[in-house]
Structure 1
Amino acid sequence: MASWDIQPQGVQGQLKVVGTHAEDLGKALNTLLSDIQEAAQAAGTAVPGTQARTPLSPGPWAPTNKPLGAAGTSLFTQTATGPVAAALAEYVTKRKPRMKAMADRCQAAVLGAAKATNEYVQGDLEAAKNAQNAAHTVRLDALKDFGGKKK
């Protein structure tokens, strides 16, 4: 028969440590994504100077003769994307499922360990309750003569 000796307080302490590391991992991944976005914006384009901004057809005009949109300007221009930014975007797109899976695995491991420990504790309590109930049903008068000297 297998025997278990789990210390719930020890498990709780380890889960706190793992939780701290998981938070650090999450912060690192967020920082990585933010840094990649900044790098993509700073990488520039393969087009020289003013050709990097491509005007789009302005579309409908409001009665004030200004293009529709916030402040009337930024809605109708688009910054060209260079090869470095495109490569970084593709890198993030390809790696995002793996990053999510890594975070999901960490969460599943922590939640699984906590649930297993709780079940263990509940099982221990159930076993103790069953032992107490069994002890209450023992007939003491039958045990009194058990193992005693016969007269």
Structure 2
Amino acid sequence: MGWDIKPSGVRGVLIKTSTAAEGFEKAGNVLKTALPDAATHAGTVSMGGGGGGGGGEGAGTGPIGGALAELMTSHDQRLAFIGARTGASIKGAMDATTAYVNGNLEQAATAQQEALKEPKIDLPGAGQK
């Protein structure tokens, strides 16, 4: 089986993948800020129909705030995993392509060295009188 990898094509795909991964990272960072803010502003449930919102000092966390905190906790590890997996995949593809290119360069250098060697000529009857 032959390989026909175009390093420039791989580079283009890796650039697009890195750009998309940056978008995921930005979205994850927004979630890390937005969800706690939303939890703070969700307020609490209080007896007598009082709002309990506002999220001032010492305000309790109501059921919505608690649910949002649990959501972030459950997704925090997943978001970190996605980032780490994406980074490792990009690096792996880059390393594999580099090895492929280096292997081709080594093969070319070996072929060139073989071509430059002094030829051995073995003619029939050479050296006989």
Question: Fold-level match, TM-score > 0.5?
Answer: yes
The alignment covers a number of residue pairs equal to 119
Query: Which consecutive unaligned segments of at least 5 residues does structure 2 have?
Result: 124-129
TM-score, normalised relative to structure 2: 0.81
Task: Find the partner of 2:73 among 93, 96, 101.
Answer: 93
Q: Deviations over 1:25-60 (max 9, x none)?
A: 11112122322122111100123467x99xxxxxxx
Unaligned runs of 5+ in 1: 54-73, 146-151
Quote the residue 2:113 is aligned against: 133
Question: Any conservation in 1 of the 2:45–2:51 contact (CA below 8 Å)?
Answer: no
Which one has a bigger Cα radius of gyration?
1
The Cα of 1:138 is off from its aligned counterpart by 5.0
Give CA deviations for 1:117-138 in whole Å, capped at 9, x if unaligned. 1111111111111111111125
Structure 1 consecutive aligned stretches of length 4 or more whose deviation exceeds 4 Å: none
C-alpha contact 2:44 2:51 (8 A) present in aligned 1: no
Shift of 1:78: 2.3
Percent identity between the two aligned chains: 38
With a CA cutoff of 8 Å and minimum separation of 6, indicate the structure with the bigger relative contact order: 1
2:88 paired residue among 108, 122, 132: 108
The RMSD of aligned alpha carbons is 2.3
Query: TM-score with structure 1 length normalisation?
Result: 0.70
Q: What is the CA–CA distance in structure 1 between the aligned matches of 2:15 and 2:118, rounded to whole Å?
A: 44
